[in-house]
Chain A
Amino acid sequence: MEGAKATVCMREITKTFGSTVANNCVCLDINKGEILSLLGENGSGKTTLMNMLSGIYYPDAGQIFVNGSEVSIRSPKDAFELGIGMIHQHFKLVDVLSAAENIILGMPGNGRLDMKVVNEKILNICSLYGFDVDPKQKIYDMSVSQKQTVEIVKVLYRGADILILDEPTAVLTPQETDKLFAVLRNMRNDGKAVVIITHKLHEVEELSDRVAVLRHGQYIGEMVTKDTNAAEMTNMMVGRTVSLNIARPEPKDPKPRIVVDGLTVRDIDGVKKLSNVSFAANSGEILGIAGISGCGQRELLESIAGLQLVESGSISYIDPETGKQVELIGKDPRTISTLGVALSFVPEDRLGMGLVGNMDLTDNMMLRSFRRGKSMFADRKSPRSLAERVVNELEVVTPGITTPVRRLSGGNVQKILVGREIACAPTVLMTAYAVRGLDINSSYTIYDLLNQQKEKGVAVIYVGEDLDVLLELCDRILILCGGEVSGIVPGRGANKREVGMMMTKLGGEAGK
């Protein structure tokens, strides 16, 4: 490292979005012939920082030097010209075109396309680094890992020698990951600079030469990988436990309400999203679900809500009055509610799923209640008074109840959604990232609401990303890792570092 001259230097980079500071005075060096891991929790500002190198965002303040001279990167095109290429989590590929066509898209050159020459050049790159790409294969025929390979080749074809990969392994199987790592090592040995954004410790240990850690948009420090260890990195990544002072009443008489057994789910592409998940959510208790994003949280909640096709397993609801068991798998949300299962669900995608952005507050309140009554006309009176009540009780800032919800700020949107779901008098309340993007006060309003529900005997399931909150709010925490249950720990006295380890490795340190 000492001998290597930095090819990219970022100095005092600051980027804010509205009132949130995504990066605050971050400095980072990227060296040739080296693999750098950028480590941090969700929302720590890793991707934002790298997007400023690839031309997606423009920094508010700070300087970027490439090979010693200061540059201004305004678009992906500028980035390419500087030899910087980034592989995003969401691939930018045209499905019906072949790999080769995607690779040369938008590049200058002769009017006539000589695919033979292009294919040859692609195969050259492939054999140089050990990629396995058929230039003629169509993108829609490809697996996720093949698509990723195409993205990498696309970047190399354009002559990039600084590669940034945003959580490249999130979508790969272990075998595919090994292959990717081999390729990345080849690129390093070829003198290219490689940056991988990750929050998986074992990847950092296995692959990278150096690791830089970000937390809450701040640059925490960097280490040579072989001189550090998982414990030190976790400490840097999660920091000391912050005391939030969230109330946590003792659960009263918890009894199983939702029992999930052996749940396995695959997505449309056949990728396993949940594998043999079993747990119980109890009444009068908040069950936290922790995990890196995309580890199956969404599929788990949607399976319970009747929105997800399930491959195998069972989900039973135990009626608090009668103690009768109701199987939820294979039923749509309407059937589930007609069976008397009072299930409320605050989904992650508030305006795309939980609410209709173009409708006003009253009409959004109606989503749950419009079927009530035998009349062919929907009752608008009670949703209107409900809207008024929610606005008053939760202190929603809105011009009025006839304002389309899409015009409200994130916190107010969430209050409306949560307010509506709670108003259904649920016996099970599921929330996904309930405080994402919310300011402190709104967040505490939400925590209080969840606690109130818990005290009423509702089984609350809280999917969260902030470990500090999970540790202070939840009675028990289920940790998902790659679609499997990594462990269930009691919330009281849980160790943040330990939970962090379980998120990145099945079973945490014990599972090694």
Chain B
Amino acid sequence: MTQILSLLQAAMVFGTVILFGAIGEIMTEKSGNLNLGVPGIMYLGGIAGLAGAFWYQTNVATPNAMIGLLIALVCALVAAGLGGLIYSFLTITLRANQNVTGLTLTIFGSGVANLFGGAMNKMAGGVGQISVGITSDAFRDTLPFLSNVGVFSGLGFMVYLAIILAFLASYFLNRTRKGLNLRAVGENPATADAAGINVTRYKYLSTCIGAAISGLGGLYYVMDYIKGTWSTDGGIEKLGWLAVALVIFARWKPIQAIWGSYLFGALFWLFLYIPGLTRSSQEIFKMLPYVVTIIVLIVVSLRKNRENQPPANLGMAYFREER
């Protein structure tokens, strides 16, 4: 029983990182932009949050945890949003290829983040490891009323923030006029254009806001998952691609992404709870999330169920005069 609980908790922590990434990417893809820069954006969000907190903690005599937390949040949102802006400008205004631009953004984001992360590790001196303990603790504090409730104790507030964001995104997409317009832009920009929707504005906004949300995944990874430190081992990149996979798995539905993310987390950690695995066969087990995504991808294309398809215009630039 405790084993299951601890797997569940590990799954939720892991899942929250990719859930943020996936919600952001769903918002982006709903506008018809396939942003393969999610890992880079998560890197940007993570490093900006860490740098903000680090700067605050080193420059203030008695840092306040809440202020550190707010600074980290704002920095992450802004940096990730800017990453989205670069992507938007290149793909929407300059009509550069989306896949190539996204991949470049991933290279850029991981470069910037690891460059500064490494630099900060050096600046922190000592063991060569930066740590923003006070801020990180604030991120990892259990919500007061949940401290004794089994699986929930030990989960920071961002776990719930991710769930709330998923519901908000779902509400926005399905129950508001703007959400409806956004979906139309991703499906058929020419029709949306004819209906008087400003296609460019919708694409820009949803891509930048989506990027900001994805960036929170990086922040959560830095502050909670690795407890306010930095490592250049490429952990965020791996999770960033899983976030892209999760979007497919959830079939572009934010609420489906919630349980999907926990399932991915559980699949990822499952090997720890299976007795008798050797170190090598554990690695085979870690394939599961990717294999499951591939199967979902195939099934989606096989069933041709219209509800589960990617936005019809995903990956394509829109140029009004090109009919």
**Direct chain A–B contact by Cβ atoms under 8 Å:** yes
Nearest Cβ distance between residue A17 and chain B, in whole angstroms?
A: 14
Interchain nearest-CB distance for A21 vs B (Å): 22
CB pair B191 A113 closer than 8 Å: no
The one of A75, A96, A112 in contact with B307, judged by C-beta atoms closer than 8 angstroms, is A96
A94-B194 in contact (CB<8A): no
> Which chain A residues lie closer than 8 Å to B307 at the CB level?
96
CB-defined contacts of A80 to chain B, threshold 8 Å:
196
Partner of A94, one of B179, B184, B196: B184
Which residues of A sit under 8 angstroms from B196, Cβ to Cβ? 75-77, 80, 106
Give chain B residues whose Cβ lies under 8 Å from the Cβ of A113: 175-177, 179-180
- A95 interface hit (Cβ, 8 Å): yes
Distance, CA A14 to CA B181, complexed state (A): 35
B175, A94: Cβ atoms closer than 8 Å: no
A96 to B173, CA, bound (A): 13
Interface residues in B159-218 by Cβ distance below 8 A to A read: 175-181, 183-184, 187-188, 190-192, 194-197
Kindly state the separation between the CA atoms of A93 and B192 in the bound complex, as whole angstroms.
9
Which range holds the interface residue count of chain A? 20 to 34
Contact with B306, one of A95, A101, A110 (Cβ below 8 angstroms): A95
Query: Does more than half of chain B's interface fall in helix, strand or loop, or is it mixed?
Result: helix
Provide the bound-state CA to CA distance between A94 and B181, in Å: 11
> Chain A: interface secondary structure?
loop
- A111 contacts the other chain (Cβ, under 8 Å)? yes
Closest-CB distance, A70 to chain B (whole angstroms): 23
The smallest beta-carbon distance between B11 and chain A, in angstroms, is: 31
CB pair B178 A97 closer than 8 Å: no
Q: Is the CB of B184 within 8 A of A106?
A: yes
Contact of B197 among A101, A105, A109, A138 (CB under 8 A): A105
Number of interface residues of B (CB under 8 A): 22
Contact A97 B194, beta carbon cutoff 8 Å: no
CB-defined contacts of A95 to chain B, threshold 8 Å: 187-188, 306, 312
Contact B180 A105 (CB under 8 A): yes
Is the CB–CB distance between B183 and A76 below 8 Å?
no
**Residue with the greatest number of chain B CB neighbours at <10 A, chosen from A93, A95, A105, A112:** A105
Residues of B within 8 A of A105 (CB): 180-181, 184, 191-192, 195, 197
Nearest A residue to B308 by beta-carbon distance? A96
- In the complex, the chain A residue whose C-beta lies closest to that of B174 is A113
Q: Mark A291-312, 1 if CB is under 8 A from B, else 0.
A: 0000000000000000000000
Q: Which of B181, B191, B192, B312 has the most CB of A within 10 A?
A: B191
Which A residues from 161 to 205 make CB contacts under 8 A with B? none
Q: Quick check: is A121 within 8 A (CB to CB) of the other chain? A: no
Contact of A226 with B by CB under 8 A: no
How many pairs of residues, A versus B, come closer than 8 Å at their CB atoms? Answer: 66
CB distance from B66 to the nearest CB of A (A): 31
| A92 interface contact, C-beta 8 A | yes
CA separation between A97 and B188, bound complex, in Å? 11
- Chain B residue numbers with a CB within 8 Å of A106 are 181, 184, 192, 195-197
Write the nearest CB–CB distance from B32 to chain A, whole angstroms: 12
Asked if B187 and A111 make an inter-chain contact with CB atoms under 8 angstroms apart, the answer reads no
Is A104 at the interface (CB under 8 A from chain B)?
A: yes
Question: Which residue on A lies nearest to B197, using beta carbons?
Answer: A106
Are B188 and A140 interface neighbours, CB within 8 A?
A: no
Min CB distance A151 to B, Å, is 11
Shortest Cβ gap from A38 to chain B (Å): 22
B205 to chain A, nearest CB (A): 14
CA distance A97 to B307 in the complex (A): 9
Q: Which of A75, A76, A106, A140 has the most CB of B within 10 A?
A: A106
Q: How far is the CA of A312 from the CA of B107 in the complex (A)?
A: 56
Bound complex: CA A466 to CA B105 (Å): 55
**B93 CB within 8 Å of chain A:** no
B148 within 8 A of A: no
- B58 on the interface (CB 8 Å rule)? no
Contact B192 A96 (CB under 8 A): no
Q: Is B301 interfacial (CB-CB < 8 Å)?
A: no
Given contacts A95-B187, A105-B192, A106-B195, contact A138 B306 (CB under 8 A): yes
In the complex, A107 Cα to B195 Cα: how many Å? Answer: 8
| B194 neighbours in A (Cβ, 8 Å) | 76, 92
Q: Tell me the nearest residue of chain B to A56, going by C-beta.
A: B194
Asked whether, in the complex, the Cβ of B306 is within 8 Å of the Cβ of A92, the reply is no
Roughly how many angstroms separate A111 CA and B190 CA in the complex, as a whole number?
23
Considering residues B188, B196, B309, which has the most beta carbons from chain A within 10 angstroms of its beta carbon?
Answer: B196
Q: Is the CB of A110 within 8 A of B177?
A: yes
Write the chain B residue with the least CB distance to A92: B191
- Whether A96 and B312, one on each chain, are in contact in the complex, defined by CB atoms closer than 8 angstroms, is yes
A/B interface sample: 10 pairs, CB < 8 A: A76-B194, A92-B194, A94-B184, A94-B188, A95-B312, A104-B177, A111-B178, A112-B175, A112-B177, A113-B177
Q: What would 15 more interface pairs be, CB under 8 Å, given A95-B188, A109-B177?
A: A92-B190, A92-B194, A92-B195, A94-B187, A96-B187, A96-B312, A97-B184, A104-B177, A105-B192, A105-B195, A107-B195, A111-B176, A113-B176, A113-B177, A113-B179
